[in-house]
Amino acid sequence: MDHLPTLCSTSGNLMAQEEMVAEEEIVPVKNTFESIWLIDAQTVMVPVKGTFEADFQHRFGTWNNGYEDFYGVFASSNIRLGAEYVPLDRLQVGIGFTKFNNLIDVWGKYAILRQMKGGGSAVTLDYYVNAAVDTREEKNTLFEEPSDRWSFFHQVMVARKFSDKFSLQLSGNLSWFNFKEHHTDGEGLDIGQDSKAFFSASAIARYKVSNALAIIAEYDQPITDQEFFDPESNLSFGLELTTSAHAFQLFIGNFQSLVPQYNHTYNSNSFGDNQILIGFNITRLWNF
C-alpha cells in the first residue's frame, strides 16, 4: 500500500506529459512554401496577420531568336508590380499593375484548411480569386462595353509538405473573360467565338537543397478544347533563394503574361519550339 501514492503520482505525471506533448504536436505545418509565389503560380502560403508584401515580377522575351536580341534579354519584356496585405488570419488580399495590356488586377486568397502536425488535416486547402481589368485606351482595343475589359480567375489549391525538403501543390483552375473576340471567314462573316470559360490544371513543387536554396518547378495543362485557339501548356523550373523576409526566384519557362487568366487562356509560347524565356520574382515582407 505504501507504493500506491507513488504509482498514482507517476501515472498522473505520465498522463499530464502525454497531454502536453499531444497539445504541442497538433499545430499547423510551417513553410509549406517560402513565398506566396512559385514561378507563375500562387501558393497556399498565407503569411501571418498584419503582414505587408511587395512583389516585383519580370519576364524577358523568348530566346528563340538567339543572339539577335541576346536570347530574349533585349526583346519585349513584361513586368508586374504587386502589393499584398493580410488583414485577417488566413486571408490575404492584393493588387498588381502589369505592363502588357496595362492590366490592373486585384485578388484574394483564403486558407480553408491547414495541414496540421500530429493530427487534423493532412493537406492545406486554399481558394484564390483574381479580377483583372484592361485599362488600355479605347482606340487600341476591340471592347464595346466597359464590362468587356474584365476577366477573372478562380483556383482551388491543395498542397502538402511531405518532408522538411519536399512540398507539392495541385490545383484546378477556371479562367473567365467577359469578352472573347469574334472570328470571321474569308468573306467577313461571323463564324463564332471561343468559350468565355476555360479550365486548366496546375502542379508546382519545391525541393530544398539547403535552408536558403531550393529547386522549384511548375507545370500548367490546358483542359478546355477551344475551336479557334488552344493555348500551349507551360513548363518552368529554376532556383529559389530565401531569407526570413525576402524570396528571389530565377527560372526558365514559357508563360509571359504574369496575370493567371491570360497565361492559362492565351499562352502561345511553346516550350518544345524553343519559345522559352528567363524570368525572376522578388518579394519582400514586412510585419506590422
Greatest distance between any 2 Cα atoms in the chain = 105
pLDDT of residue 172: 98
Q: Is residue 215 part of a domain?
A: yes
Rounded distance, CA 216 to CA 270, Å? Answer: 20
Length of the chain: 288
- Cα(47)–Cα(93) distance, rounded to whole angstroms? 11
Find the domain containing 70 and state its range. Answer: 29-179+192-287
For 46-91, how does the pLDDT look when each residue is reduced to its tens digit (9 = 90+)?
999 999 999 999 999 999 888 888 888 999 999 999 999 999 999 9
H or E segment to which residue 19 belongs: helix 4-25
CA distances from 124 to 19, 215, 220, 254 (A): 25, 21, 20, 28
Residue 24 is predicted with a pLDDT of 61
Number of domains in the chain: 1
Tell whether 55 is covered by a domain: yes
Query: What does the alpha-carbon distance between residue 229 and residue 249 come to, in Å, rounded to a whole number?
Result: 31
49 in Cβ contact with 88 (< 8 Å): yes
Average pLDDT of the residues in 228-248: 95
- CATH number of the domain bearing residue 228: 2.40.160.40
pLDDT band, residue 7 (cuts 50/70/90): very low
Query: Nine-digit cell at 257?
Result: 503574361
Residue 42 located in a structural domain: yes
Kindly state whether residue 49 falls inside one of the protein's structural domains.
yes
Assess if residue 184 is contained within a domain.
no
Please check whether residue 2 lies inside any domain of the structure. no
Q: In whole angstroms, give the CA distance from residue 10 to residue 78.
A: 67
pTM score of the predicted model: 0.89
Residue 23: the pLDDT is 55
190-200 pLDDT, tens per residue?
778 899 999 99
